[in-house]
Amino acid sequence: MKIEKIDVFVSCPGRNFVTVKVTTSDGVYGLGDATVNGREQAVVAMLQEHVIPCLIGRDAHNIEDIWQYLYRGVYWRRGPINMAAIAAIDMALWDIKGKVAGLPVYQLLGGKSRQGVTLYAHANGESIEQTLANAEQHVSNGFKAVRLQSAVPGLEVTYGVLGDKKDYFELQGSRPLPPEETWSTPKYFDLVVELFEQARSRLGNQVQLLHDVHSRLTPIESARLGKLLEPYNLLFLEDASIAENQTAYKTIRQHTTTPLAIGETYNTLWDCKDLIQNQWIDYIRVAATHAGGITALKRIADFASVFNVQLAPHGAPDLSPVCFAAHMHLNTWVPNFGIQEFVGFGNESLREIFQHEFTVQNGMAYVSEAPGLGVEFDEQAALKYPYKRSYLPVSRLEDGSMWHW
Ligand SMILES: [Mg+2]
């Protein structure tokens, strides 16, 4: 079964998605997600110029060899663009193998370790009151875990808060250039401790609470935040600090028992090897699209299991339903599963392009039993929503200094 053709599509149903379709000589095809938010066309060029020509005529069954060929076989290893290209091909080949076998991908990984996948929802608001009202809404819809983000008083905008936009799609679609936002650590500290104090008294102790720092704190500031939040028993604190220097998390770990999660920007196991083997984190948040696909996530999860670190894949709206489906199969199989981030696929144009077969009920997601990944892609619908340049914001301190994203 030879790889005969590989097509790349960029569609923008509010946000840009790079979708790869691998077609074999038998007529079976598979889908992969290669979206790198704000750098979408770089992955398209990587695929079209440097990856696809090397794969035509290869045996589509040899997923591992093709992964190694694309990773080891080039002089320039790692990096988000390279790894997203590898990831999309890898997902598509797993999709093909499942379709040929007549089995959903989780069966090829080892079968079910659980009936459903626990999700956490996003609750955000312009005030603590609004955030907690949103959280209560999620809880009444059956969610057992909610991430809380609230606008920081005194700052014009706060990342992760929608303001007057109806969803993350509308928010991102309004940014043809990166907007510049202001950050203040002292103002944030005043807000965040109050947010969780009120959350616990209003939501009780049975709801799992999470929070994303978006890497805005230094390691010792994160350590202090973790300590201050200990009474409110978070499931985890996400991206507490930048970890290009992985040892930074040792500082945080030494000072707090608040569980720590990181990994959505990581591209390989090498980016989190020290964090995992030193047990400086509790959850690894890699995404199939950004860390090399199903083959690579399976390997990271197995490594993490040795050190009691659980898989909690990234689930932001810049990952297409194809990536989410890959996570669903991994999460259904993986023994050391933590939780899955979920923002929903309610956007109508997105649903016109991608039809998925997983279901969501009472804060749980249930994997598709369709052969392969269980996602369909409508090429004609995708053409109706062409690529539009759009960016995430950048962050500056109040004195104008560039700060961590
Ligand atoms: Mg995050």
State in Å: Cα 335 to ligand 1 middle.
Answer: 23
- pLDDT digit string, tens, across residues 199-236: 999 999 999 999 999 999 999 999 999 999 999 999 99
- pLDDT digit string, tens, across residues 243-290: 889 999 999 999 999 999 999 999 999 999 999 999 999 999 999 999
Q: Which two tokens stand for residue 308?
A: 């009691």
State in Å: Cα 239 to ligand 1 middle.
Answer: 7
Buried b (16+ CB within 10 A) or exposed e, 341-359: bbbebebebbebbbebbbe
- d(CA 321, CA 248) in angstroms, rounded, equals 33
Q: Which of 258, 213, 207, 270 is nearest to 239 (CA)?
A: 213
**SS3 state at 61:** coil
Q: Given 3.20.20.80, 3.30.1490.20, 3.40.50.2300, 3.20.20.120, which CATH number is that of 108-373?
A: 3.20.20.120
Cβ neighbourhood burial of 270 (10 Å; 0-12, 13-18, 19+): exposed
- pLDDT digit string, tens, across residues 151-166: 999 998 887 787 777 7
- pLDDT digit string, tens, across residues 129-187: 999 999 999 999 999 999 999 999 999 888 778 777 777 777 776 788 999 999 999 99
State in Å: Cα 3 to ligand 1 middle.
Answer: 35
- d(CA 55, CA 63) in angstroms, rounded, equals 11
255 given a catalytic annotation: no
- d(CA 123, CA 294) in angstroms, rounded, equals 29
State in Å: Cα 361 to ligand 1 middle.
Answer: 23
State in Å: Cα 147 to ligand 1 middle.
Answer: 10
State in Å: Cα 315 to ligand 1 middle.
Answer: 8
The fold for domain 3-103 equals: Enolase-like; domain 1 (3.30.390)
Q: Which two tokens stand for residue 145?
A: 């875990």
Q: Where in the chain is the domain with CATH 3.30.390.10?
A: 3-103
Catalytic position from the list 214, 255, 391, 404: 214
Q: Where in the chain is the domain with CATH 3.20.20.120?
A: 108-373
State in Å: Cα 264 to ligand 1 middle.
Answer: 7
Catalytic position from the list 120, 159, 168, 249: 159
Max CA-CA distance within the chain?
Answer: 61
With residues binned 3-state (H G I as helix, E B as strand, rest as coil), the percentages for the chain, rounded to 5, are 40, 20, 40
385 given a catalytic annotation: no
Q: What is the share, in percent, of the chain residues with pLDDT greater than 70?
A: 99
DSSP state of 309: P
Tell me what pLDDT residue 157 has.
Answer: 85
Against a cut of 0.75, is the pTM above it?
yes
